[in-house]
Chain A
Amino acid sequence: MNPLFAFQLRRVGRNRQYLLFTVLLPALFTVFFTKIFGGLAAGPAEYQEEAARYMVSMMAYGGLGAALGATIRISFDRASGWLRQLRVTPVSQTEVFGVDVAVGALLTLPSLVVVALVGRFVNDVQLDLSTWLTLVGALWAGSITFVALGLLIGLALDERAAGGAIGFVGVVLAALGGLWAPVEVFPDSMVTLAHAMPSYWYADLGRDIAAGTAPSGQAVLVLAGFTAGFAALAVLVARRRPLYAVAG
């Protein structure tokens, strides 16, 4: 294993609070929303539909939260002077970026898996094994959009602002993207807004898969576009203010 990757992983592993909250909150929401809205279902078929949809929404919520939380840590490492210190060792800047992307991507997986397990064993969501695997795989791949967004926020803001910013961005993405209340109950103007959110398309990937259809090309394209946009902005910010620049 790449030594820097192992090093970064061990550091995140020590941060139990971070791990607990990124996994616990979406898992609890999954139970909470399904109990409320699933209870209103007219029959078992409708319950399955509601329960699967909330599970997918919470997988999306958990995945994006974990991706943002993991990647803004780059702003902490800048603030402490560690990235500056690392810059005067033979470790390349490409490796520093690459490892943070990989760690961010890896850390979204526990939230996705835990929410899926809660969906299956607490809320009794029934899907084929291959559908479960495709669902987790697709949402894992799609989380790269939020890895890119988290890096952008972590590079652009100082460490205190970045922490606050992802709280805000997480809520906006979840609420407006239809992860907490489904877009079906939104007024028309807010539906348009929802469609402008990457979180809507991210959950849309999962909704299609859970419903047994292939993800829409539109969702894939929109997410790819957002990812490219966030990554390009992150590169631009990093050029103006390199990783090793003194914080502030």
Chain B
Amino acid sequence: MTRPPALEISALTVRYGDIVAVADLDLTIPAGSTVALLGPNGAGKSTIVNAVLGLLPVATGAVQILGRDPHEAVRAGCVGAMLQHGGLPSETKVGEVLALVRRSFPQQWALDDLLVTAGIDGLLGRPVEALSGGQRQRVLLALALAGAPPLLLLDEPTSAMDVEGRRAFWTTMRGLAERGHTVVFATHHLDEADAVADRVVVIADGRVIADGSAAQVKSGVAGRTISFTADPGRRLDGLPAVSAVTWHGDTVTLATADADATLRALLSDDGSLPDLEVRGASLEDAVLSLTSTIGATR
């Protein structure tokens, strides 16, 4: 018998009234992988996470977590989640909340290891009201990990963390993946997706617009960026192969699928390109190019 995938989403559509937040989405995540759901705010990442957990009514389609429906999987302790709108109860101490959640799961993450892994060592006796934003996030992570669940769903987990906290957090996540947990996280931080995930799924307008390793997503689109100094009034539309134009002061950056063709057109057009730079696209450029293409074709 083959192991069921950690997460299988088929033909998922979620609507808020007339707005389609997720449109006919298919996504299969094998057990043991680390997957980033990457996209701008409002792309539908949180909606996907919430629908997977059964927190939202699904218009059509199906979600299976390790072969079970979402509600059943949550009740069986197959999933741990950090939600964007999750929170801690008032008039409690961290240790009490953690103990309650931990014992609700059929199996438990060893406490000493959990405290170190989530980075909340020394916080157990602290009232939840006295936690900083970053500590709060780490306590919520500890709750997600408490039952050593095979699937972890993390929705913008580092949003309240500083740079240091963020780095420590992702070291932890890589460790979890090595232990065989499946980690799915939503983020709009491209560096996080690039550094941690072995697979990046780019989401825009509730659809998957790219899916592969960070390197594949980068190479599959955009190709190169060309930047130079130009008079802000200069018209740059109609250049061949250009998918996005961005201005920073008088520096313009073009994302192009064919740098040769674009450069040739630029040179024949004007002849002078001060401070010219041509680079391989970053993941950020790739996503920008992908999402702006979607916008243009609507």
Chain A residues near B (Cβ < 8 Å): 3-4, 7, 10-12, 14-15, 76-77, 80-82, 84-92, 244, 246-247
Contact = CB atoms under 8 A, between A and B. Distances in A.
- What is the interface of chain A mostly: helix, strand, loop, or mixed? helix
Contacts, number: 77
A91 B97 CA distance: 13
B104 A89 contact: yes
B83 to A, nearest CB: 6
Contacts of A12: 91
Given A77-B89, A82-B89, A84-B85, A4 B140 contact: no
A82 B87 contact: yes
B89 A90 contact: no
Given A88-B74, A89-B74, A90-B77, A80 B87 contact: yes
Contacts of B180: none
Nearest to B74: A88
Contacts of B147: 89-90
A89 B146 CA distance: 10
B91 A90 contact: no
Q: Which 7 A-B pairs have the closest CB atoms?
A: A81-B87, A85-B86, A80-B87, A82-B89, A88-B81, A11-B91, A14-B91
- What is the interface of chain B mostly: helix, strand, loop, or mixed? loop
Contact of B91 (A15, A89, A91): A15
Given A3-B103, A90-B74, A80 B89 contact: yes
Given A10-B96, A84-B86, A84-B87, 11 more contacts: A3-B100, A76-B90, A81-B87, A84-B85, A85-B83, A85-B87, A87-B53, A88-B53, A88-B81, A90-B104, A247-B85
B100 A7 contact: yes
Contacts of A247: 85
Contact of A90 (B75, B92, B140): B75
Given A11-B91, A90-B76, A244-B55, A84 B100 contact: no
B90 A80 contact: yes
30 contacts: A3-B103, A4-B100, A7-B96, A7-B100, A10-B92, A10-B96, A11-B92, A12-B91, A76-B90, A77-B89, A81-B83, A81-B88, A82-B86, A82-B88, A84-B55, A84-B85, A85-B83, A85-B87, A88-B55, A88-B79, A88-B86, A88-B144, A89-B101, A89-B147, A90-B74, A90-B104, A90-B147, A92-B75, A246-B85, A247-B85
B109 to A, nearest CB: 13
Contacts of B99: 3
A150 B264 CA distance: 74
A81 B85 contact: yes
A16 B167 CA distance: 41
Nearest to A13: B91
A12 B53 CA distance: 30
B65 to A, nearest CB: 12
Contacts of A92: 75
A91 B104 contact: yes
Contact of B90 (A11, A84, A89, A244): A11
- Which of A81, A82, A90 has most B Cβ within 10 Å? A90
A246 B143 CA distance: 19
A244 B101 CA distance: 16
Given A7-B96, A89-B147, A84 B83 contact: yes
Contacts of A89: 74, 77, 101, 104-105, 143, 146-147
